Amino acid sequence: SQTIHQWPATLVQPVGSPLSLECTVEGTSNPNLYWYRQAAGRGLQLLFYSVGIGQISSEVPQNLSASRPQDRQFILSSKKLLLSDSGFYLCAWSSLGQGDYGYTFGSGTRLTVV
Amino acid sequence: GNSVTQMEGPVTLSEEAFLTINCTYTATGYPSLFWYVQYPGEGLQLLLKATKADDKGSNKGFEATYRKETTSFHLEKGSVQVSDSAVYFCALRRDGGTSYGKLTFGQGTILTVHP
């Protein structure tokens, strides 16, 4: 069965520090991968998506970047965090070719920038 | 572009009350429609889905019918429980072309059920 792992679960980082959040998927190949952010009291915003290794598309201009060094690994990074980067970050995967019309989400990382 | 509009929350109900959370969408063509649920401190889980007009998605007592004529996908449950307290997200997905299966979410509706 397919599983998705996301870590860490919570993170408190000072302003100006770097960030690395990791997401891995098991049990599937060539998934579409996504990073979403949920700011406090707001809905979900798509940050990045990837349809293959090394292929990253950014949906909104921001202080963050994403990378996909392996087929089932998706990393969200920042060189210098801002206060506005605080939020709940969710990784997700989908595989259109298998007839699944939805996403599977990770359990999320709650990031607080102080 | 694609968009999803959900009713404003929060929604507060007593146990066994009837629930409706409205969702309308704007999209070209025939999107797939979803409801996701987020329990406190957790990620999102797929609650139900519908992939074509007049389809009814159902799960755990929740239902939603894909109404193309009104571009709606309202979530309903006949008798809510305290354990249904969560945030509910309506979403659409346009497949094909350059959409790459991206989901467009509504703002989410907080539901609180009291005993």
pLDDT digits (tens, 9 = 90+) for B31-70: 899 999 999 878 889 999 998 899 999 999 999 999 999 9
Residue A110 φ then ψ, to 5°: -95, 115
Residues of B in contact with A92 (CB under 8 A): 44, 103
Instruction: Note the pLDDT of residue B24.
Output: 97
Burial B22-59 (b: 16+ CB within 10 A, else e): bbbbebeeebbbbbbbbeeeebbebbbbbbeeebebee
Q: Is B59 on the interface with A (CB under 8 A)?
A: no
Q: Is A6 on the interface with B (CB under 8 A)?
A: yes
Average pLDDT, chain A: 89
**pLDDT beyond 50 at A98:** no
**pLDDT beyond 70 at A12:** yes
- In B, minimum Cα distance to A103 occurs at B46
Q: pLDDT higher for B93 or A21?
A: A21
**pLDDT beyond 80 at B101:** no
Whether residue B107 and residue A43 make contact (CB cut-off 8 A), yes or no, is yes
Q: Please tell me the distance in Å from A51's CA to the nearest CA on chain B.
A: 7
